A and B are shown apart, each in its own frame.
Chain A
Amino acid sequence: MTSESLSPAATQTFSPEPRVASPKERHLGSGQFIRLGSLFALLLVFIYFSCMAPGFSALSNLANIVEQSATLALLAFGMTAVIIGGGGDVIRGGIDLSVGANLGLCIAIYAVSEAAGYSDVTAFLLTLAAGLAVGALNALAVVGLGVLPLLATLAVMNICAGLELVLTQNMVISSASPLLAWITAADWLGLSVTSWSFIIIAAVMLLLVHRTPWGLRLQAVGGHREAARAAGLRVPAYRAASYLGAGLLAALAAILQAARLSGSSPGSGDILLSVVLTSLMSVVFSRRLLPSIGGTILSVLFIGCLINGFQLLNVSSYWVNGVQGLLILGIVALRSLSDRPGVA
């Protein structure tokens, strides 16, 4: 923690704490233990459901799980990228609370554009523009003006949610465009357009963040901002890019969701908490206990399997939230117990 002085001209009160791996982590491999344990738990849950829940392991059901998780996945990729680029500390580092509201706003813009008579292409482009605009607003606030990400994205979230309500008047706006029809109807190798979007975008994000030089630099910026700056990286550009990316992904998810709901329906923004959960849960699936795209993919599928399996087992859906909560707590308890101090 940088030193604090109480004079008026103090340095920024909230500066990000560098997240350096402790010697214990690097050496012992307690991270490995957690990761393997989590993968094992995932496998166990999968096997349990396959045996006990009728129809779980049917290929069509697994395809359903992928499709049902697509929106969550796209938003979680954006959130993970922001967290990676901003540093793992949730308050002082990077986070984007506006992704859910951004999703809702983009869906509303698409539905309203279609209803106003614009063509598919125009509506699609307007939606993408909207998502990017929100991302740009976040980037401006966080990187340009230096506002704390938690607060900046909170304010932007309110703006997006409000704009969505202004556009839709809290009512359902239905859309039936050729684009949406194609998304719902088209089928390739048994998987829908939505499922393929999940797979393709997951692959792209995985490569981009973990296999390209750009991605490695993003991780460096998040890992230790000052060191990255000293090494000559243009830190603001990377952080801004992560917010723009999150906005773009929200717009893409919005198109998929609009197809699923045949338009815009209030309450799309409620997905935020699940997005935060999956991004943060991705740490247990990664070697260095840091958020990662691969870990995010596994978390998303894990949650999807849980929800699906519960339904097939006729377990009440009221338990789902509780299980998600216990999951978060279990995971972070595990992680903090194996790695003290310096928890993010």
Chain B
Amino acid sequence: MASNFSYWLLGLTLAASLGAAERAQADDVPSLKGRRIGITVVGTEHYWDLRAYQGQIDEVKRLGGVAIALDAGRNDSRQISQIQTLIAQKPDAIVEQLGNGPVLQPWLKKIRGAGIPLFTVDTISPSSINDTTSDNYGIGEKLALQLASDIHGRGNILVFNGFYSVPVCAIRYDELKLVLKAFPDIHIIQPELRDVIPNTVQNAYSQVTDMLQKYPNKGQIAAVWSAWDVPQVGATQAIIAAHRPEVRTYGVDGSPDVVKMVADPTSPAAAVAAQQPYLIGKTAIDNVARYLAGNHDLPPYTFVPSILVNKENAKTAGSQLGQS
């Protein structure tokens, strides 16, 4: 009981800080008039990716600049070709969002080598001047603690770990493992499940259904964890279809539909760490504008607050996140 209250309080505090962060940013951003900003994302078929992408494009336009926006359709090779051509187009700055770290690093280095300022969204890179992201360490830790609390510190859990090569997913997974060290009675069922792109929902649905068949008794599976929330959607649907609502699901990102699922008291979706992708994109461009206006003193990270949406605060969280 007490732990639930503390999480509610934490959620509230974070929510309050959301408004403050937003207000602080709106005032002092220099113009991007006459500037061309390249924006390269690995794909936009996920709500988070799309919102962040749009946040960047809208902010560039709002500040009077021209956005060269490139969506690689989830294909690393295409993203690299786009970056290669983008370098030749010599924009004033380039913002890169997500993607596979090891594949991108040499090309991000090339961007800096060509003298073009590089900024990133949700991507850690030594070549980046500034990375705007959520505090994934905090997210991973708080989500794991919520899970452990909800299942009372004991049980078997299913884990989707298909995208460890994406830095933010790796951070969340590592935090889960770290937290679970303190709960020796919680076991991750082996082998871990792999989420896939494309067809994420259907595939997660199918895998969780198979697992529920394999462990058919109530209580054999306590929860399902995934590093983002699309597999959570599939998992939740599978649990409902198999009539095993005692299995809880956990994820990260906070797409509106998932927030609604969490808000539904009868749904197995127990919590989702909701980020603010549109604001993240907007903030990244604001940093670009400041840099181009002469401020070379930016910190390497800009954290944009997030909310841990759980059953207690889900009703109000939606509006705070700007979702209808």
Interface size (B, Cβ < 8 Å)?
31
Closest CB in chain B relative to A149 CB, distance in Å: 27
Closest to B74 in A: A267
Q: B70 — which chain A residues lie within 8 A by C-beta?
A: 311, 317
A307 cross-chain contacts in B, Cβ below 8 A? 81
Contact in complex: B85, A311 (CB < 8 Å)? yes
B71 at interface, CB cutoff 8 A:
yes
Interface bits A167-209 vs B (CB < 8 Å: 1, else 0): 0011110100000000010000000000000000000000000
Q: How many residues of A contact B (CB 8 A)?
A: 33
Is A265 an interface residue, CB under 8 A from the partner?
Answer: yes
B89 at the interface (CB under 8 A from A): yes
Assess the B103–A261 pair: CB atoms within 8 A: yes
CB distance A172 to B194 under 8 Å?
no
Q: Do the beta carbons of A318 and B71 come within 8 Å of each other?
A: yes
- Known contacts: A68-B81, A316-B71, A317-B70. The answer to whether A261 contacts B76 by CB under 8 A is yes
B87-99 interface mask toward A, CB cutoff 8 Å, 1 = contact, 0 = none?
0110000000000
> Judging by beta carbons under 8 Å apart, are A265 and B76 in contact?
yes
**Assuming A60-B88, A317-B70, is B82 touching A174 (CB within 8 A)?**
no
Chain B nearest Cβ from A73, distance in angstroms: 14
Whether A262 pairs with B85 at a CB distance below 8 angstroms is no
Q: CB within 8 Å of A: which of B57-83?
A: 68-78, 80-82
Using A68-B81, A171-B165, A314-B68 as known contacts, say yes or no to A262 and B105 having CB atoms under 8 A apart. yes
Q: A64-B84, A171-B165, A312-B89 are in contact. Are A262 and B75 (CB under 8 A)?
A: no
With the chains together, A314 CA to B80 CA distance in Å?
Answer: 17
Closest residue of chain B to A308 (Cβ to Cβ) is B85
Q: A314 to B75, alpha carbons, bound, how many Å? A: 19
The answer to whether B106 and A257 have CB atoms under 8 Å apart is no
Contact indicator B71/A64 (Cβ below 8 Å): no
Whether B80 contacts A260 by the Cβ 8 Å rule is yes
Q: Mark B174-190, 1 if CB is under 8 A from A, else 0.
A: 00000000000000000
B164 adjacent to chain A (CB < 8 Å) = yes
A314 to B103, CA, bound (A): 25
CA distance A312 to B87 in the complex (A): 11
Chain A positions 53-72 with a Cβ under 8 Å from a chain B Cβ: 54-55, 58, 60-61, 64, 67-68, 71
Interface residue B102 (Cβ < 8 Å from any Cβ of A): yes
Any A CB within 8 A of the CB of B302: no
Cβ contacts A to B, 10 pairs, < 8 Å: A58-B88, A171-B163, A171-B164, A262-B105, A267-B75, A316-B71, A317-B70, A317-B72, A317-B82, A318-B71
